Amino acid sequence: MLNSLPISWISFGALLRREIARFMIINRQTIFPQIITTTLYILIFGFSLGSQIKHIQGFPYIEFILPGLVLMSVITSSYNNASTFLFSARYDYSIQDVLLTPLSYFQMIVAFTLGSMIRGLIVGLLVLSTGVFLLKLKIFSIGIVFLFLILTSQIFVSFGLLIGLWADQWDDLWTFISYVVTPLIFLGGTFYSIQMLPYPWKWISLFNPIFYMVNGFRYGIIGFHEFPIGLSLFILFVLGSALFTLTVYLFKIGYKLKT
């Protein structure tokens, strides 16, 4: 069967397996810390703070914030995997080995993207399972949950690849997540409903892509949304497609790749 495939697709499969093996070998660093951290968020923010904030939009506080906590783990895992891999591959010139393969630039980016997405999705699903178990929660729509998990992971994998290309030193990778991603997470409705915000912050939130991720994912878990789900999907699909296309283009022109 493998012999009948074009050599580029055989190379694609090998690259994807390498990307998955790269983070699975050190799973105690790449997967389990996120689960522990998010479980602590649930216990501390949910059960302690939740005892003071009884309900948001008719839902127990801990149930309301669970979707945002799960997405935090997906976002950080997806971004960290993609950005650190590509930067280190540029740093030690191992990216040149990939560029010399018969893979097209599109196939390279798909393999890198899928590899990092798998890490993000594994972490997200394990964290979600932990939260559902602790809260004895029934998920409203499995299909919507998976759809928004996939879109969120893909977007931040693409962000990670772009930052991994742009960065000149290790600190640049953490600068982006500290000064851009983390504020967007906390201002994206993770711990509150945007209906609780005063004007103009309520409207400013609509320019935050993480709001649409949390909005859709929250609907999938507890059945509540603050913005039309169809429009949220459309916005995230357009953003993800644009970032993916930009990454492929930068690889084609050899941006910071060919020395």
Positive/negative CA dihedral, 66, 69, 75, 81: negative
Is residue 45, in this structure, part of any structural domain at all? Answer: yes
Is residue 119, in this structure, part of any structural domain at all? Answer: yes
Cβ of 163: how many Cβ atoms within 10 Å?
22
CA diameter of the chain = 63
Residues of the chain with pLDDT under 70: 1-6, 27-30, 45-54, 258-259
* Each residue's pLDDT tens digit, 216-228: 999 999 999 999 9
For position 231, what pLDDT does the model report?
Answer: 96
Is residue 148, in this structure, part of any structural domain at all? Answer: yes
For position 116, what pLDDT does the model report?
Answer: 92
Quickly list DSSP for 51-110: GTS-EETTEEHHHHHHHHHHHHHHHHHHHHHHHHHHHHHHHTTTHHHHHTSS--HHHHHH
Is residue 258, in this structure, part of any structural domain at all? Answer: no
Is residue 149, in this structure, part of any structural domain at all? Answer: yes
Is residue 257, in this structure, part of any structural domain at all? Answer: no
* Each residue's pLDDT tens digit, 155-199: 999 999 999 999 988 888 888 888 888 888 888 888 888 888 888
Is residue 259, in this structure, part of any structural domain at all? Answer: no
For position 133, what pLDDT does the model report?
Answer: 87
For position 249, what pLDDT does the model report?
Answer: 96
Q: What's this model's pTM, rounded to 2 decimal places?
A: 0.90
For position 157, what pLDDT does the model report?
Answer: 96
Expressed as residue numbers, the domain containing 157 is: 2-252
Number of domains in the chain: 1
